[in-house]
Amino acid sequence: MRRPAIIVSLLLSNFAIGTVLAAPPPWAPAHGVRKKQERMYVGYSQREWPADYGVTSGRCNTDDVLAAVGAVAGGVIGNRVADPGNRTIATIVGIVIGGVVGDRIGDRIDARDRACVGHSLELARTGQTVRWVNPESGLSYAVTPVRDRESGCRDFDLRVSPDGRGSAVRVVGCADSAGGWSLRQAASLQARQ
């Protein structure tokens, strides 16, 4: 009678050990199957991004973006990544975006807004509008890619205003291999309602 109990005990302990070894705890680093199953977002530039920050649903999540660009103690200090190729979010680089929307509003655009614009250009479909409100400045944003170009550039409408209304400007943004978008030109202002 003792022998069947030992056999049953061994079988149950092997089953328990197999179950424990099958799946790592949620806090463990993902080195195997789970890492391969993590969703990656392929952007317009064909680069893979680990997060969409809400862009694919039409709303840029400014809190998550703020963490991604390296915020500390309530102040945005920019995308603090030593190697631009390791960015976790696309961003506007180069010329100051204020030159496109005017100095009065342009002075209030911060790193989280540049990242939301860049990630919108990466992940939004043509014709899809991505919106957000910067909680610090109170500015409302709307980015709508309107045309894809063969050169790795996209035409897009950008609306920045204190009240969500106002005019939009047509801008050409071009992607680089490191996840940055530079603004090439802006067309004349066009009233959008």
pLDDT at residue number 77? 39
Q: How far apart are CA 68 and CA 71, in angstroms?
A: 8
Q: Are 123 and 43 in contact (CB under 8 A)?
A: yes
Amino acid letter, 148 = D
pLDDT at residue number 81? 40
pTM of the predicted structure, to 2 decimals: 0.70
**109 and 132 both lie in a single domain:** yes
Domain count, the chain: 2
Q: Are 181 and 90 in contact (CB under 8 A)?
A: yes
pLDDT in tens, the chain (193 residues): 566 666 666 666 655 554 445 566 666 665 655 555 578 999 888 889 899 999 999 999 998 998 888 743 333 334 444 345 557 888 878 656 666 677 677 777 888 998 999 999 999 999 999 999 999 999 999 999 999 998 889 999 999 888 777 788 899 999 987 888 988 766 544 443 3
Q: How far apart are CA 29 and CA 175, in angstroms?
A: 32
**131 and 174 both lie in a single domain:** yes
pLDDT at residue number 190? 46
**12 and 102 both lie in a single domain:** no
Q: Which residues contact 58 (CB under 8 A, 6 or more apart)?
A: 128, 129, 130, 131
pLDDT at residue number 174? 92
Token couple for 106: 């342009």
**50 and 130 both lie in a single domain:** yes
pLDDT at residue number 85? 53
**166 and 76 both lie in a single domain:** yes
**56 and 126 both lie in a single domain:** yes
Token couple for 39: 């969703």
**110 and 71 both lie in a single domain:** yes
Token couple for 190: 């066009």
**93 and 180 both lie in a single domain:** yes
**121 and 66 both lie in a single domain:** yes
Q: How far apart are CA 73 and CA 55, in angstroms?
A: 25
**Where would I find the beta strands (DSSP E) of 9-124?**
41-42, 48-49, 71-72, 75-76, 91-93
Quickly count: other Cβ atoms within 10 Å of residue 79's Cβ: 22
**173 and 135 both lie in a single domain:** yes
pLDDT at residue number 78? 41
**131 and 53 both lie in a single domain:** yes
Backbone angles phi, psi at 187, to 5 degrees: -85, 180
Domain range for 25 is 2-36
**126 and 141 both lie in a single domain:** yes
